[in-house]
């Protein structure tokens, strides 16, 4: 498992402080709407200046007509990030168009598709998609796999079934992780790290449990230790 830390803080300075605290770990950093809208490309450059080995996931969840998504995907590829995502519900043509457009890049970022947001509960999801989260997430994952994407964003509870229906190497990135039973906030389908590991999650995403803690550095240390314990079977 590779921990992915959400840099969702209210200022660039606070994000940079957190990134500096993470500097010695082999982890991914997630830049989402808040930080990218506020600090843009220069934020990515600043992070790379702190540590060129930081892996960056640009979480902008593209959702538009296929050509617009492919144009945006190309711009993202030029930013030098390592992973980005689109919404699976944008459809197969959008998926194909994005992947085709990225073919010309010798090293392209990994592309994931969002299946069901972890903030949905079953009732809210049914209202929009008319299907259960499990079924729809699985269909979205199969569709993403068949169209050449590298993986999906899902909850830890769907990870195992998705890998079974696709391939073990098909990546699952799972937000809604609460390592020590922290407040779920707006997340509905939250999971602990040991469950994420059992379900084969490749990237557990953690935001608020780290940056809302009174001592984010210490919290991160505890989380990294927990991951090590889980992975070595000591938990």
d(CA 103, CA 36): 25
Site residues (CB under 6 A) for ligand C5P, limited to 167-186: 175, 185
Number of residues that bind ligand C5P (CB under 6 A): 15
Site residues (CB under 6 A) for ligand C5P, limited to 127-156: 153
Of residues 107 and 155, the one with the C-beta less far from ligand C5P: 155
d(CA 79, CA 102): 13
Q: Crossing angle, helix 122-129 and helix 133-146, to 10 degrees?
A: 60
Is residue 208 at the binding interface for ligand C5P, with CB under 6 A as the rule? Answer: yes
Q: Which positions from 83 to 122 touch ligand C5P by CB under 6 A, shown as an x/- string?
A: -------------------------------x--xx----
Nearest distance in Å: CB 61, ligand C5P: 7
Q: Is 224 exposed, middle or buried (CB count within 10 Å of its CB: 0-12, 13-18, 19+)? A: middle
Catalytic residues: 61
d(CA 75, CA 78): 5
Nearest distance in Å: CB 101, ligand C5P: 23
Q: Which positions from 57 to 86 touch ligand C5P by CB under 6 A, shown as an x/- string?
A: --x---------------------------
**C-alpha angle 86-161-188 in degrees, rounded to nearest 5:** 65
Nearest distance in Å: CB 147, ligand C5P: 19
Q: Is 135 exposed, middle or buried (CB count within 10 Å of its CB: 0-12, 13-18, 19+)? A: exposed
- Distance, C-alpha 86 to centroid of its chain: 11
Name the residues that contact ligand C5P, by CB under 6 A: 6, 8, 32, 59, 114, 117-118, 153, 175, 185, 187, 205-208
């Amino acid at each position: 498992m590779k921990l992915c830390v959400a840099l969702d803080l209210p200022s660039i300075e606070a994000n940079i402080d957190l990134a500096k605290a993470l500097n010695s770990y082999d982890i991914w950093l997630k830049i989402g709407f808040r930080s990218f809208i506020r600090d843009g490309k220069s934020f990515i450059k600043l992070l790379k200046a702190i540590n060129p080995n930081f892996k960056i996931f640009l979480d902008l969840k593209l959702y538009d007509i296929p050509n617009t998504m492919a144009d945006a995907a190309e711009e993202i590829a030029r930013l030098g990030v390592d992973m980005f995502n689109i919404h699976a519900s944008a459809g197969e043509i959008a998926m194909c168009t994005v992947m085709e457009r990225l073919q010309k890049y010798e090293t392209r970022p990994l592309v994931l598709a969002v299946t069901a947001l972890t903030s949905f509960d079953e009732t809210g999801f049914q209202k929009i998609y008319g299907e259960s989260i499990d079924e729809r997430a699985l269909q979205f994952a199969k569709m993403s796999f068949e169209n050449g994407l590298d993986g999906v964003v899902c909850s830890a509870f769907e990870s195992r079934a998705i890998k079974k229906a696709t391939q073990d190497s098909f990546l699952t990135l799972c937000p809604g992780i609460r390592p020590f039973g922290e407040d779920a906030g707006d997340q509905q389908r939250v999971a602990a790290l040991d469950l994420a590991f059992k379900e084969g999650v490749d990237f557990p995403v953690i935001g608020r449990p780290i940056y809302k803690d009174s001592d984010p550095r210490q919290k991160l240390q505890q989380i990294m230790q927990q991951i090590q314990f889980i992975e070595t079977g000591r938990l």
